[in-house]
Amino acid sequence: MKCVFVTVGTTSFDDLIACVSAPDSLQKIESLGYNRLILQIGRGTVVPEPFSTESFTLDVYRYKDSLKEDIQKADLVISHAGKGAGSCLETLEKGKPLVVVINEKLMNNHQLELAKQLHKEGHLFYCTCSTLPGLLQSMDLSTLKCYPPGQPEKFSAFLDKVVGLQK
């Protein structure tokens, strides 16, 4: 069973949840060979109705103690960039294909810089909610490079630089 896991962490990102759970997105995801979509919706107000058919399952939940199991099961992870970038790093270290969706409604955030840098290095794809459907159609996951594991200090130094804690 090929699975897409969407996570918004502890925040809310209703635009992302609404985008991936829209009927045309569900059709697109299924046409790409995925037959399960798991949505971790955090404290969002958009709560899609879970369903299961012969060919496709949609699961929805707010929080779990750990996302590790869902990331491990996923064939593709779609994530917010997040404040601490924890889910991004966890996904990359597990060697899972990652699409980071930038929340354009957040001002003065550093999501875009982080996503751009990791995309430039070939580790992930990034987009906005409006460009996500096109990216899903056009992306080639085989072009992604593995993120070198076990180097959290490099990642945290990069984050510190991006958020202005270090020159």
Q: Is 118 exposed, middle or buried (0-12, 13-18, 19+ CB in 10 A)?
A: buried
Question: Could you read off the pLDDT of 28-48 as tens digits, one per residue?
Answer: 999 999 999 999 999 999 999
Residue type, 138: S
Contact in structure between 109 and 101 (CB atoms under 8 Å): no
> What are the backbone angles phi and psi of residue 37, rounded to the nearest 5°?
-130, 125
> What 3-state DSSP class applies to 114?
helix
Strands of 10-166 (E only): list them.
36-40, 51-52, 57-61, 76-80, 98-102, 125-128
Give the pLDDT of residue 83.
57
Q: Is the pLDDT of residue 161 over 90?
A: no
Q: d(Cα 60, Cα 90) in Å, to the nearest integer?
A: 20
